[in-house]
Amino acid sequence: MRIRMTGKKFDMFPERSGDIWGDDIPAELFEPLSEECRESDAINRESMSYWGQARAKMAADPLAMAGLVVIALMVLFAILGPLIRPFPYDEQNYSAINQTPNAEHWFGTDKFGRDLFVRVAYGARISLAVGIVAAFVNVTIGVIYGGVSGYLGGTADMIMMRIVDIMDTIPTLLYIILVMIFLGSNVRSIITALCLSYWLNTSRMVRAQVLSIRTQDFVMAARVAGESGWRILTRHMIPNSIGPIIVMVTFLIPQAIFYEAFLSFIGIGIAVPVASWGTLANDSLSNMNMYPHLTIFPLVAISLTIFAFNFVGDGLRDALDPRLKR
Amino acid sequence: MNGELLKISDLKMYFRVRDVSSWLGAHRSLKAVDGVSFGIGRGRTFGLVGESGCGKTTVGRTALRLYRPTDGSIIFDGADIAGLSDKEFFPYRRKMQMIFQDPFTSLDPRQTVGDIIGTPLTVHHLVSNRSERAERVKELINMVGLRSDHIGRYPHEFSGGQRQRIGIARALATMPEFIVCDEPVSALDVSIQAQIINLLEEFQEKFGITYLFISHDLSVVRHISHRVGVMYLGRLVEAGEVNELYENMLHPYTKSLMSAVPAADPEAAKTRRRIILEGDVPSPLDPPSGCPFRTRCREASAVCAEQTPPLVDVRSGHMAACHKLSIKG
Amino acid sequence: MSGDALLHIKNLRTSFLMSDGVVQAVRGVDLSVKRGEFLGIVGESGCGKSVTMLSVMGLLPDNAAIKADTLTFDGKDLLSASPREMRSIHGDEIGMIFQDPMTSLDPLFTIGNQLMEPLRIHRKMSASEAERRAAETLEMVGISSPAQRLKQYPHEFSGGMRQRVMIAIAMSCSPKLLIADEPTTALDVTIQAQILELMKDMKEKSGTAVVLITHDLGVIASVCSRVVVMYGGLIMEEGECGDIFYDPLHPYTKGLLASVSGMGSGEKKKLVPIPGSPPDLMNPPDGCPFAARCAFAMKICAAATPKLTNRGGRLAACWMLRRKLTA
């Protein structure tokens, strides 16, 4: 019986050597076995670090690899898109309005004659920037806050976690509207607003992670060895909790992208004429029946990107999950 | 015998636990170790036996100052280390090491074997540069019977017995005088247990290391120890030189514990009469008054519920804590 | 021989698919369990002793595959049995006890619920009938005031008590076979002694065949009548309890006994361990799995796997038996 998994075929019941001799076994086979055949402590498997194993598992996951390719293409599109076409994103051209995709305007033009290809590429810049910056700022704050809270434990942990609980009672939308009032409708304020609320969950998760690692024997072993608190935190706790944190980042990025698109779509995010996928979708709404391409291109871009990040996140979770390791 | 390396007197270790039945979240104290005293001679092994939850592991960890004891003294090499701050205790870390029970969780999965064994060397500045450290790690790994080409590998690539050897190499790295072995073989298969025991004995002979050997396995303890203590519910109920204790058991708990161990001998199993204890070990949160063993003891009388029997020297160093003995004596 | 066999296994192989290869946990096991016998399967972790019995029960995880020439229980072919037929055998004709008494009971249901369920399903008993029978079984496993205990939840029981309840559940339908997988490993020695005594007692009273899986030779010696020794996914030796302990044929059995017998005796002597480590069943060695650690290994041992050979009514898989015959 053969079972196929991750592209490799395994023989579930390989043939066993033996039963090959009948009654007349050559006498020399009963001579003592040489010493080198008795090395049972040798390890025959290839040595692989945690990261090496993770990389191999990622490479064997077609969906995650496809996701990575899509993300790479999206990044290239964001960087090169506006450079390879001769149209600035905000240049209005009333001689070429509402064109369907053609040789000159690959994605067509909008009601002001602006080139949609360039505008979607600009939207990619904004979305990717929002997603990546928000995720990283969040994780930085969350890891430090949650890590310190879990590491200190006791009363400090109690107070720090109650602060998180209180902050969590304020809806994210409220944060965003307040920040928009003070900083204006731009990319920076969206990132700031997202960072203000998203780190709460991150810090909770990191705290739980640190608490579970703190009780592991190898942390006690590090104390017995005389390692300092700082050394234990940086050499043992963080390396052992980094896997789940990376997975969390990859899931936070599409969430942030989605949030930005949603806010811009309902009109409290990025203001025109700056192009974001959300504003593009919103702009196209009035003429959606006549010019569906204006809606389709930004929507496909949003979906593809979010799908891609989620696939990569799933792949990373499988690859970095300590329970799946033998 | 040239004096005692470690002397523990009236050691108490209480943990504060949240009382779940109380609305106000009051704390109760769990008396994990409640007045334990014993000494270990230099270069000798003291075996501490008892069932799960009896406090034997806590004694070991407190002796290494992983916990700050509630009360009592721990004299190591003439100095009381019970009240030292972490910083003051740091120089002792080098001299006092530990071998853990579970070889699968006691090695950091993200570090190579070389890093695991080399860390104590770096932390205590026992080597001055990388090549010296690599040399010493190689020496240590060969000492425990593993090969030099194992140094770059990760813990998960090894079997349980091999991992325990790595744990021993780490404990030996700083050339300690004293090692707490906390159930070092109970997670291992029998054929591997003997390898590890032999290794520990070999290092004791070679380097004169003193062991506190904690185990629930009475036969392993008998093999490796010079002196043995039996714990029950946070107290030492009996202690003595190994052969004296195993051959002339005094405390009823020790007797029933010994008789419960199944021997790998079917004929003996047929003929032997077992003392089967009724019931379970009481919770250390709510220990019985007086003698902790009285709820399961067949010989318990009224005095056992009133007074806690002290650990008394019954015959030349063989001590036991039981009212029956003091009444007779 | 196979006439009175309750469970008959021939050439059982079980493999697990892992992310980086195939682990061959059981690599060709022949085993018969007779009616009413107390059989012990002993071996170290990863030798395939638990997997063998889990394969019989069809309780393997999804990444496992099994293959066998014969697998019959009480005349029924288990290989072709549907999941429905397997369920009617579980808990009725075969009872099972697991290692961890803390997790094998459902915390959301009372002990009574869990005891009565198999009786109502398999024996179609009425509620009051099942309750009476459940109380009887609890009393049989030495739990006092059973009527009140039936209304309690698992968390109100200690580890030893839970294992008693597990035995009561497994025995409630008077199964023909009871499989006990390391039933005392998680318990303290004083509690272990209670449970072993109880199992022996139950077997005497009910005539159920018991298969006890353990790594502890002492446990085997105190209760079993026949012993199977496994190593590296294969049976190394099989025989009466006394023969195995006092006159072992296989070098592995000898090594196993030598590594425990040195301990626990008064005089201080150096232990004789088995050198090296057990084989990696993802890349099992050619030939005998024990060859690399065996003091008597010959060239043939590393080349071909020895079959269980009958010698004077005793079975062992070792080329040394063949050498003595041919020489």
State the CATH number of the domain containing residue C248. Answer: 3.40.50.300
Give the CA distances from residue C129 to residues A71, C34, C112, C257, in Å, rounded to whole numbers and listed in that order. 66, 32, 12, 48
Could you tell me if residue C165 is inside a domain?
no
Residues of chain A with pLDDT under 70: 1-10, 16-25, 35-47, 272, 321-326
pLDDT tens, position by position, C210-252: 999 999 888 999 899 999 999 999 999 999 999 999 999 999 9
Using CB atoms, pick whichever of A41, A221, A227 lies closest to residue B100.
A221
**Confidence band of B329 (pLDDT split at 50, 70, 90):** very low
- Token code pair at residue C309: 């050979």
Q: Which residues of A touch C327 (CB under 8 A)?
A: 30
pLDDT at B229: 96
Using CB atoms, pick whichever of A43, A218, A240 lies closest to residue B157.
A43
- Give A251 to chain C, closest Cα distance, Å: 24
pLDDT tens, position by position, B242-286: 999 998 999 999 998 888 888 778 887 777 777 777 777 788 888
Instruction: Tell me the Cα Rg of chain B.
Output: 21
Give the CA distances from residue C318 to residues A51, C14, C291, in Å, rounded to whole numbers and listed in that order. 43, 22, 10
pLDDT at A23: 60
User: From CA A201, how far away is CA B42, in angstroms rounded?
Assistant: 53
pLDDT at A36: 66
**Confidence band of B327 (pLDDT split at 50, 70, 90):** low
Paired strand residues for C31: C9
Could you tell me if residue B236 is inside a domain?
yes
User: From CA B192, how far away is CA C44, in angstroms rounded?
Assistant: 10
> CATH code at A202?
1.10.3720.10
Q: How many CB pairs under 8 A join A and B?
A: 82
**Partner-chain contact B109 A322, CB within 8 Å:** yes
Taking CA atoms, what residue in C is nearest to A56? Answer: C20
> CATH code at B251?
3.40.50.300
**Partner-chain contact A240 B110, CB within 8 Å:** yes
User: From CA B150, how far away is CA B137, in angstroms rounded?
Assistant: 11
More confident site: C288 or A323: C288
Q: Is some CB atom of chain A closer than 8 A to the CB atom of C298?
A: yes
pLDDT at A1: 38
Could you tell me if residue A11 is inside a domain?
no
**Confidence band of B139 (pLDDT split at 50, 70, 90):** very high
Q: Are residues B323 and B238 in the same domain?
A: yes
Q: Are strands B45-49 and B227-232 parallel, antiparallel or unpaired?
A: parallel
pLDDT tens, position by position, A205-220: 888 888 888 888 999 9
pLDDT tens, position by position, B304-315: 888 889 998 888
List b or e across C299-315, with b for residues whose CB sees 16 or more CB atoms inside 10 angstroms.
bbbbbbbbbbbeeeebb
Could you tell me if residue B102 is inside a domain?
no
Q: Are residues B122 and B11 in the same domain?
A: no
- Give B181 to chain A, closest Cα distance, Å: 12
Could you tell me if residue A24 is inside a domain?
no
- Give A6 to chain C, closest Cα distance, Å: 8
Chain A neighbours (≥3 Cβ pairs under 8 A) are B, C
Q: Are residues B287 and B220 in the same domain?
A: yes
Question: What angle, 0 to 180 degrees and rounded to 10, lies between the N-to-C axes of helices B252-260 and C189-206?
Answer: 50
pLDDT at A325: 42
Q: Is some CB atom of chain C closer than 8 A to the CB atom of A4?
A: no
Could you tell me if residue A14 is inside a domain?
no
User: From CA B2, how far away is CA C322, in angstroms rounded?
Assistant: 57
| Backbone conformation region of residue C241, classed left if phi is above 0, alpha if psi is from -120 to 50, else beta | alpha
Whether residue B5 is predicted with pLDDT greater than 90 in this model: the reply is yes
Q: Are strands C38-42 and C21-34 parallel, antiparallel or unpaired?
A: unpaired
Could you tell me if residue C62 is inside a domain?
yes
**Partner-chain contact C22 A11, CB within 8 Å:** yes
Query: Rounded mean pLDDT of chain C?
Result: 86
Using CB atoms, pick whichever of B61, B66, B153 lies closest to residue A43.
B153
pLDDT tens, position by position, C105-118: 888 899 999 999 88
More confident site: B9 or A326: B9
Using CB atoms, pick whichever of A17, A40, A57 lies closest to residue C276.
A40
Q: Are A81 and A120 in contact (CB under 8 A)?
A: yes
Element (H, E) at C225: none
Domain enclosing residue C46, as ranges: 5-93+173-326
Q: Are residues B34 and B79 in the same domain?
A: yes
Residue of B51, B190, B232, B275 best to disrupt the C interface, most CBs of C under 10 A: B190
**Partner-chain contact A40 C326, CB within 8 Å:** no
List b or e across C165-189, with b for residues whose CB sees 16 or more CB atoms inside 10 angstroms.
bbbbbbbbbebbbbbbbbbbebbbb
Q: Which residues of A touch C280 (CB under 8 A)?
A: 43-45
Could you tell me if residue C141 is inside a domain?
no
Domain enclosing residue B157, as ranges: 108-175
Q: Is some CB atom of chain A closer than 8 A to the CB atom of C62?
A: no
Could you tell me if residue C181 is inside a domain?
yes
**Partner-chain contact A224 B93, CB within 8 Å:** yes
User: From CA B33, how far away is CA B10, in angstroms rounded?
Assistant: 9
Using CB atoms, pick whichever of A43, A217, A226 lies closest to residue B93.
A226
Residue of A218, A236, A324 best to disrupt the B interface, most CBs of B under 10 A: A218
Paired strand residues for C214: C42
Could you tell me if residue A158 is inside a domain?
yes
Could you tell me if residue B209 is inside a domain?
yes
Q: Which residues of C touch A5 (CB under 8 A)?
A: 17, 19
pLDDT at C327: 46
pLDDT at A144: 87
Q: Are A147 and A210 in contact (CB under 8 A)?
A: yes
The tally of domains found in chain B comes to: 2
Q: Are C244 and C237 in contact (CB under 8 A)?
A: yes
Taking CA atoms, what residue in C is nearest to A60? Answer: C19
pLDDT tens, position by position, B30-78: 889 999 999 999 999 999 999 888 899 999 999 999 999 999 999 999 9
C145, with CB counted inside 10 A (0-12, 13-18, 19+), is exposed
**Partner-chain contact B93 A225, CB within 8 Å:** yes
User: From CA B83, how far away is CA B73, in angstroms rounded?
Assistant: 8
Which ranges constitute the DSSP H helices of B64-189? Answer: 86-93, 113-123, 130-143, 160-172
Q: Are residues B182 and B171 in the same domain?
A: no
**Partner-chain contact C268 B223, CB within 8 Å:** yes
Tell me the three state secondary structure of residue B99. Answer: strand
Q: Are strands B178-182 and B227-232 parallel, antiparallel or unpaired?
A: unpaired
Q: Which residues of A touch C27 (CB under 8 A)?
A: 16
For chain C, the straight-line distance linking the first and the last C-alpha, in angstroms and rounded, comes to 30
Concatenating the DSSP letter of every residue in C151-172 gives TS-GGGS-HHHHHHHHHHHHHT
Q: Is some CB atom of chain C closer than 8 A to the CB atom of A9?
A: no
- Token code pair at residue A135: 């995720």
Taking CA atoms, what residue in B is nearest to C241? Answer: B266
Q: Is some CB atom of chain A closer than 8 A to the CB atom of C156?
A: no
Paired strand residues for B34: B12
Give the position of tokens 């999206």.
A74
Query: Rounded mean pLDDT of chain B?
Result: 89
Spatial CA neighbour of C153 closest among C111, C102, C104: C111
Element (H, E) at B16: strand B4-18
pLDDT tens, position by position, C145-193: 888 889 999 888 888 888 889 988 888 888 999 999 998 888 888 888 8
Could you tell me if residue C194 is inside a domain?
yes
Could you tell me if residue A19 is inside a domain?
no
Residue type, A246: I
CA geometry: angle A92, A95, A100, nearest 5 deg: 90
Using CB atoms, pick whichever of A13, A23, A25 lies closest to residue C67.
A13
Concatenating the DSSP letter of every residue in B262-325 gives PPS-HHHHHHPPP-PPPS-PPPTTSPPSSSTTTTT-TT--HHHHHSPPP-EEEETTEEE--HHH
The tally of domains found in chain C comes to: 1
Could you tell me if residue B276 is inside a domain?
yes
pLDDT at C3: 53
User: From CA A71, how far away is CA A48, in angstroms rounded?
Assistant: 28
pLDDT tens, position by position, B217-250: 888 899 999 999 999 999 999 999 999 999 899 9
Give the position of tokens 């290989």.
C79
Which ranges constitute the DSSP H helices of chain C? Answer: 49-57, 83-89, 111-122, 127-140, 146-149, 159-171, 189-206, 217-223, 241-246, 251-261, 319-326
Taking CA atoms, what residue in C is nearest to B241? Answer: C266
Q: Are B53 and B281 in contact (CB under 8 A)?
A: yes
Q: Are residues B264 and B207 in the same domain?
A: yes
Would you say the pTM of this structure is higher than 0.90? no
Q: Enumerate residues 6+ apart whose C-beta is below 8 A from C302.
A: A33, A37, C285, C286, C287, C288, C291, C292
- Token code pair at residue B270: 């047929």
Looking at residues B106-127, what average pLDDT do you find? 92
Could you tell me if residue B101 is inside a domain?
no
Could you tell me if residue B230 is inside a domain?
yes
Q: Please report the beta strands in chain A, taking only residues with DSSP state E, as ranges in sequence order.
A: 2-5, 8-11
Q: Is some CB atom of chain A closer than 8 A to the CB atom of C304?
A: yes
Q: Are C247 and C240 in contact (CB under 8 A)?
A: no
Q: Are residues B130 and B267 in the same domain?
A: no
Residue of B86, B94, B110 best to disrupt the A interface, most CBs of A under 10 A: B110
| Backbone conformation region of residue B24, classed left if phi is above 0, alpha if psi is from -120 to 50, else beta | alpha
Domain enclosing residue A234, as ranges: 74-324
Taking CA atoms, what residue in C is nearest to A14? Answer: C24
Q: Are residues B18 and B130 in the same domain?
A: no
**Partner-chain contact C271 B194, CB within 8 Å:** yes
Contacts with A, B 64-103, CB within 8 Å: 64, 66, 90, 93-94, 96-98, 100-102
Spatial CA neighbour of B218 closest among B196, B245, B251, B180: B245
pLDDT at A326: 36
Read off the DSSP letter of residue B21: T
Q: Are residues B246 and B163 in the same domain?
A: no
**Partner-chain contact C297 A37, CB within 8 Å:** yes
pLDDT at C99: 82
Could you tell me if residue B306 is inside a domain?
yes
User: From CA A184, how far away is CA B192, in angstroms rounded?
Assistant: 69
Question: What angle, 0 to 180 degrees and rounded to 10, lies between the N-to-C axes of helices B130-143 and B113-123?
Answer: 120
CB atoms < 10 A from the CB of C270, how many?
A: 11
pLDDT at C262: 60
Q: Are residues B181 and B140 in the same domain?
A: no
pLDDT at A176: 80
Could you tell me if residue C155 is inside a domain?
no
Percent pLDDT > 70 in chain B is 95
